Amino acid sequence: MLQYDFMQNAFAASGIVAVLAGVVGCFLVLRGQTFAGHALSHVGFAGAAAGLLVGVAPLWGMVGLTVLAGLVMGGLGERLAGRDVAIGIVLALALAFGLLCLHFLTGSAVQATALLFGNVLGVDPPTLWALGGLAVLSLGGLAVISGPLLFATLEPDLAEAKGVPVRPAATLFLAVVALAVAGAAQIVGVLLVFALMVGPPAAALRLTGRIGAALLLSAGLALAEAWAGLLLAYLSDWPTSFCITALSAGVYGASLSAGGWPARLPSRR
């Protein structure tokens, strides 16, 4: 299997993205902001489609628009809470805008499928290097804000009382989430981002009550699901995105019997 260059690129790309999604997604689930990953993936589709229309690589179109949307969402903060109807309309509009862009492109059906459901087997070396750079940037940014972000997540009132920069940390975090979403979409597509961004972290937080262990376990589960999904797809000739998503759902389902989160929050150790 690994004699083929495209399979080598696929394993490298899915490994990079899986670790990034597992770590970032752990904070995303812990903060109760999984809607953000869903929203940003829809916005990312519009950005990728617009990038194709103007001759820019879909990855960079997705990165640009998702980061912008993440910063806006972070700036709005609590004003977005509870506004399900407004958020749903914006998500639908983002998908519709993406479809409009694809309407003006030749071969839009193939491009739409790749954007919506991923095409990890089509990752080329430049994209692989770009994903690596996004992962380093995202994990580096997360490391810088992880202290105040975790404090604000577990003890929001106390963090605000102590003068912790809660809003800047939350805004920068959503920018990091945007980068992770853009990377994950290259593997499983914008409609299945939850497979890597939410599934492994949710399972990890049910299996351990310590944040450090949860981060490692989440990254490990995401990596195992991505690589096992690639192997299963190679052996069965099924879509890779389906295999990864099915494994993610299976692992999360198995973790339900273990209890844990949300009955107890992870400790700060």
**Average pLDDT in the chain:** 84
Taking phi over 0 as left and psi of -120 to 50 as alpha, with beta for the rest, 56 belongs to beta
- Determine the pLDDT at residue 248: 93
CB-CB neighbours of 143 under 10 Å: 10
- pLDDT at residue 138 tops 60: yes
- Classify residue 156 by its DSSP letter: H
Classified as helix, coil or strand, 181 is helix
pLDDT cut 70: percent of the chain above it: 88
Question: Domain residues of the chain, as ranges?
Answer: 5-115+123-191
- Determine the pLDDT at residue 79: 59
Q: Provide the H-helix boundaries in the chain.
A: 5-30, 34-54, 58-76, 84-103, 108-117, 125-154, 156-161, 166-188, 194-197, 199-207, 211-236, 240-255
Does domain 5-115+123-191 correspond to CATH entry 1.10.3470.10? yes
pLDDT cut 90: percent of the chain above it: 35
User: Rg of the Cα trace of the chain?
Assistant: 18
Per-residue CA distances from 5 to 57, 250, 263 (Å): 21, 30, 45
CB-CB neighbours of 56 under 10 Å: 15
pTM: 0.85
- pLDDT at residue 243 tops 70: yes
- Determine the pLDDT at residue 85: 62
Encode pLDDT of 13-50 as tens digits: 999 999 999 999 999 998 888 877 778 888 888 888 88
- Determine the pLDDT at residue 268: 45
Per-residue CA distances from 97 to 92, 201, 269 (Å): 9, 31, 44
Top pLDDT among 87 and 168 is at 168
- pLDDT at residue 263 tops 60: no
- pLDDT at residue 269 tops 50: no
- Evaluate whether 187 touches 120 at the Cβ level (below 8 Å): yes
